[in-house]
A and B are shown apart, each in its own frame.
Chain A
Amino acid sequence: GEDVEQSLFLSVREGDSSVINCTYTDSSSTYLYWYKQEPGAGLQLLTYIFSNMDMKQDQRLTVLLNKKDKHLSLRIADTQTGDSAIYFCAEKDTGNQFYFGTGTSLTVIP
């Protein structure tokens, strides 16, 4: 299957920006997603980007896609303690298969 890689941990101070990175190998990705998982809960879709876009902004969230380098990032502005969670990037290929990264555990320090 395709590889979707993320760093495992990220710590930021409350009020700072967080940047979570993701790299993938599939060149036929159609959509790329960011999900948030809080302890004991399912995944919550945060945002997505179509593969022909470079950037998408949605309130505090900014997604950047570098298709040439197969690099996706999620920036959370003014990070709050409620943003502490595991963040998964995922990509969907043309065969409608989904591949998830390993998840990045974000800790926000008050």
Chain B
Amino acid sequence: DSGVTQTPKHLITATGQRVTLRCSPRSGDLSVYWYQQSLDQGLQFLIQYYNGEERAKGNILERFSAQQFPDLHSELNLSSLELGDSALYFCASSVGDHTDTQYFGPGTRLTVL
């Protein structure tokens, strides 16, 4: 158990809908990272927040957005969902900003029908 929690575990929705994925980092970790893992794209870094501020942006679509709240939990919002958005979404956390150790949550499996 990494100490990072993600909810929900599974999510099934329809095209065009909007969903919110939630992540609680390990106690004391200030950074949160979001990743998408799919069969065709592999593991893609989406975005990182550090202490409430966006720190790095990867291959995140404009339809997706994220934020980190004062209590350090983070949410990833996916809107206008398409079939290709079906994937495993992982959250990871780390103590600091440029630290080298990320701890991954168990992931949320999103299925778009």
Nearest-neighbor residue (CB-CB) of B4 within chain A:
A42
Label chain A's interface by main secondary structure.
strand
B4 → A minimal CB distance (Å): 8
- For A92, the chain B residues whose CB sits under 8 A away are 100
* Contact pattern, B 74-113, Cβ under 8 Å of A = 1, otherwise 0: 0000000000000000101000011011111111000000
- How many A residues are at the interface, by size bracket? 20 to 34
User: B2 an interface residue at 8 Å Cβ cutoff?
Assistant: yes
CA distance A48 to B99 in the complex (A): 11
Q: Does the CB pair A42–B100 fall under 8 Å?
A: no
CA distance A107 to B58 in the complex (A): 31
Q: Does the CB pair A45–B42 fall under 8 Å?
A: no
Chain B interfacial positions (CB closer than 8 Å to A): 2, 4, 33, 35, 42-45, 48, 55-59, 90, 92, 97-98, 100-107
